[in-house]
Amino acid sequence: MPSVQLQNSPFLIENEQQYRQWKQHKLKAYPESIKELTVSITDPFKLSEQEFQAIKARLQKANMVIYDLGNNSNAEDRNIPEQLGRQLGISSLDKNECADNDGFTSIQVVDQGLHAMYIPYSEKGINWHTDGYYNRLSEQIYSMILHCVRPAAEGGENQLWDHEIVYILLRDKNPEYIQALMQSDAMTIPKNVIDGELIRPDRSGPVFIITEEGCLHMRYTARARNVIWKDDPLTQEAQQVLRDILNSESAYKFEGQLAAGQGLICNNVLHTRRAFKDDPQQPRLLYRGRYFDKINFKNS
């Protein structure tokens, strides 16, 4: 039997009154710039109560926050993002095949080995996606930390969309689009085979998922290849309208480049990465942690 939170979720199409109330609260005083999402931190290993509350407020409102360590710590310390995550209640890392021994992944240009086969480890741009969209449904990535050690010499900016805002824009166009993208076979990621070895089977699932806690989760990629959308008119139309929304100009869409000692903490919001050029002497390096936990602060 579904939980009470799930039954009363504003993300269920039938709960129109709850949706309208939630939407009004969501859009009220929504951040208008990256600056409004940014919180300065003195000691990442021991957040002050003021810093914690500032981070909490941004995550509650926009599902994301940018932290800025300034010159207060060594940006190369791999313990920084891990300890920030623990203070926010997330610790269950997805230790995938590209992750390092501690569960975090070093995002940098790699020209050989397994990493070289994937776009994140190149200078190429990456289209709209949520992390782990190819994971099995029982191992979804609900939160993420991206910590910058060194930015690219040129380019590499990220664009960010709060998936709850995207849900609003799509639902207000046509609630049937939401229903189409909640189908269990709305989006399929084909199997991954390397040198004849099956790395990952086909993975099908919804785009929008409502958790037992009544929260909204999204699994999505805007890739033109290696993704199969359900072959029915409504799903095809819905995914095209979603793509158009993501690529539109909007005050709700953020763009910026993380500097050394800055990082993104989020509930796996939609994001991109622009192409970049590396400095061989100071190559771009970020630490990424993918979590099976959601950063779940109840709105007060």
Longest dimension (CA), the chain: 57
As beta bridge partners, residue 29 has: none
CA separation for the pair 185, 240 (Å, rounded): 17
pLDDT at position 300 is 37
What are the structural domain ranges in the chain? 1-30+163-251, 31-124+139-153+254-268+276-300
Q: If you search the block for the tokens 């890739």, which residue do you land on?
A: 223
CA pair distance 95, 117, nearest whole angstrom: 18
Count the Cβ atoms, other than its own, within 10 Å of residue 273: 22
In angstroms and rounded to an integer, the radius of gyration of the C-alpha atoms of the chain is: 19
Compute φ and ψ for 89, nearest 5 degrees.
Answer: 90, 15
Distance CA 252, CA 161 (A): 7
* Two structure tokens written together for 194: 């390397």
The tokens of 296 are what? Answer: 């779940």
Contact in structure between 193 and 202 (CB atoms under 8 Å): no
Q: In what order do the strands lie in the sheet with 143-150?
A: 38-40, 64-68, 262-266, 143-150, 285-291, 105-107
Residue 88 tokens, joined: 């926010």
Helix H or strand E encompassing 159: strand 158-161
| Rounded alpha-carbon distances, angstroms, from residue 296 to 213, 215, 260 | 9, 9, 27
Taking alpha carbons only, the member of 77, 51, 113, 75 closest to residue 258 is 75
pLDDT at position 194 is 74
**pLDDT for res 189:** 95
Whole-angstrom distance, CA of residue 260 vs CA of residue 275: 18
pLDDT in tens, the chain (300 residues): 678 888 999 999 999 999 999 999 999 999 999 999 999 999 999 999 999 999 999 999 999 999 999 976 789 999 999 999 999 999 999 987 777 888 899 999 988 766 666 788 899 999 999 999 999 999 999 999 999 999 999 999 999 999 999 999 999 999 999 999 999 999 999 988 777 777 788 999 999 999 999 999 999 999 888 899 999 999 999 999 999 999 999 999 999 999 999 999 999 999 999 999 999 999 999 999 999 999 987 543
**Amino acid 299: pLDDT:** 46
Question: What pLDDT does 164 receive?
Answer: 98
Q: Between 163-173 and 16-27, two packed helices, what is the crossing angle to 10 degrees?
A: 130
